[in-house]
Amino acid sequence: MRRPLLLVLLVAFAFGCDDTTNSDGGLTSPDSGVVVDTGVAVDAGVDSGVEPDSGVVADSGVERDSGVEPDGGVESDSGVEPDSGVEPDSGVEPDSGIEPDSGVEPDSGIPPDAGPPPDAGFTDEVITDENGNPVVITNGPPGDPVNVGCADGQREGLVDDSVYPDMAGCLGTWGGTVSLRDVATSTACGDDLGACTVPADLCAPSWHICGTSGLVEEVRQLGATECENAGGGRYVTAISHCETQSGCQYDTSTTAVYACWNNGWCSEPVCCGQQCLTFGACPGGVWPGATHIPVGTDQGCGAITSRRAGGVLCCR
């Protein structure tokens, strides 16, 4: 009975001496290389060199969130469109060839407000009125009297014949007291030729003193302002400035006919020009409130001297 018990003890002793304990407290059988009862699978991450969930993608070659789009070559929000060739907000249109707001129209060739050419032929002269005061007279270009309207071939009133082709102011004198409706003698006269026999001689052939027939509308071809600014001097017409010699009676119709009285009430002729500064008692005979006359007892339409008049208005 003692031998079997001894044998069991020896076997048990041999087994306990050969078993080893691993670092985790488990038992490892000799040469097994396997951890017994540790709860870890064999070779499950031994010697991998990388901790799980390291945050690095294998072989990506690019760090995450680098801020550079692949192959963009330009940072985002650069403010420059690719290949534009123009800086933003440069203020210059491509190939315009003209600076902005240059103030010059292309190829105009004429400076603004150039005015008439210097050789237009208008000249000034100074004369004296009946009181010895100087008066500036502008002479129009000389030309054929039939076209100019004045017998001496030069206008002194309404000098621009392109604006007033059928009316002209002609300066000159005549001797004595005569009527503005006296028939012309066909003897040319004027401030450039000498004194006239009658006022009508101041007008060129085929022209006459405006209003000779009594037709008021012929005088009304001019406006009131045009009459006042007809030129330096005085240019009278062949009509008195009222319809009757009783009160201030006017005819405003287009068929109105006025007389040419020698003297008395409303006898003075209608006067145009910058020296026709006065109004009579009846200023509305031709233009309402703006009909000028030469004032004086010797200034009746039918009996007038050139002392105050000094020129006539010719029509055709």
Q: For 75-93, what is the mean pLDDT?
A: 44
Give the H/E segment covering residue 147: helix 145-148
Q: What is the CA radius of gyration of the chain?
A: 60
Residue 238 lies inside a defined structural domain of this protein: yes
User: In this structure, what DSSP letter does residue 142 have?
Assistant: P
Lowest mean pLDDT of 87-96, 119-128, 232-241, name the range. Answer: 87-96
Q: Which of these, 182, 135, 166, lies nearest to 308 by C-alpha position?
A: 135
Q: Say if residue 131's pLDDT is above 70.
A: yes
What is d(CA 125, CA 118) in angstroms, rounded to the nearest whole number?
A: 17
Residue 42 lies inside a defined structural domain of this protein: no
Output the pLDDT for position 134.
93
Output the pLDDT for position 1.
45
Output the pLDDT for position 231.
95
Q: How far is CA 302 from CA 45, 138, 311, in A?
A: 142, 29, 15
Q: How far is CA 42 from CA 33, 34, 37, 45, 102, in A?
A: 9, 6, 11, 9, 90
Residue 49 lies inside a defined structural domain of this protein: no
What is d(CA 197, CA 202) in angstroms, rounded to the nearest whole number?
A: 9
Residue 45 lies inside a defined structural domain of this protein: no
Output the pLDDT for position 295.
81
Q: For 272-278, what is the mean pLDDT?
A: 92
Q: Say if residue 8's pLDDT is above 80.
A: no
Give the H/E segment covering residue 217: helix 216-219
Q: For 211-227, what is the mean pLDDT?
A: 98
Output the pLDDT for position 20.
41
Output the pLDDT for position 115.
38
Q: How far is CA 312 from CA 16, 94, 123, 174, in A?
A: 161, 65, 20, 11
What is d(CA 274, CA 181) in angstroms, rounded to the nearest whole number?
A: 23
User: In this structure, what DSSP letter does residue 307 have?
Assistant: T
Domain that holds residue 297: 121-316
Output the pLDDT for position 145.
97
Q: How far is CA 261 from CA 148, 180, 300, in A?
A: 29, 10, 6
For residue 58 the two structure tokens come to 């294998």
For residue 51 the two structure tokens come to 């901790």
Q: Say if residue 294's pLDDT is above 60.
A: yes
Residue 36 lies inside a defined structural domain of this protein: no
Residue 219 lies inside a defined structural domain of this protein: yes
Q: For 296-302, what is the mean pLDDT?
A: 88
What is d(CA 203, CA 229) in angstroms, rounded to the nearest whole number?
A: 20
Output the pLDDT for position 308.
80
The mean pLDDT of the chain is 75
Q: For 110-115, what is the mean pLDDT?
A: 39
Q: Say if residue 197's pLDDT is above 90.
A: yes
Residue 107 lies inside a defined structural domain of this protein: no
Lowest mean pLDDT of 93-97, 145-149, 302-306, name the range. Answer: 93-97
* Cβ neighbour number for residue 119 with a 10 Å cutoff: 7
Q: Say if residue 96's pLDDT is above 60.
A: no
Residue 22 lies inside a defined structural domain of this protein: no
Task: Give the whole-number percent of the chain exceeding pLDDT 70.
Answer: 62
- Residues shown for the chain: 316
Output the pLDDT for position 17.
41
Q: For 155-183, what is the mean pLDDT?
A: 96
| pLDDT confidence tier of residue 42, bands split at 50, 70 and 90 | very low
**Could you give the number of structural domains in the chain?**
1
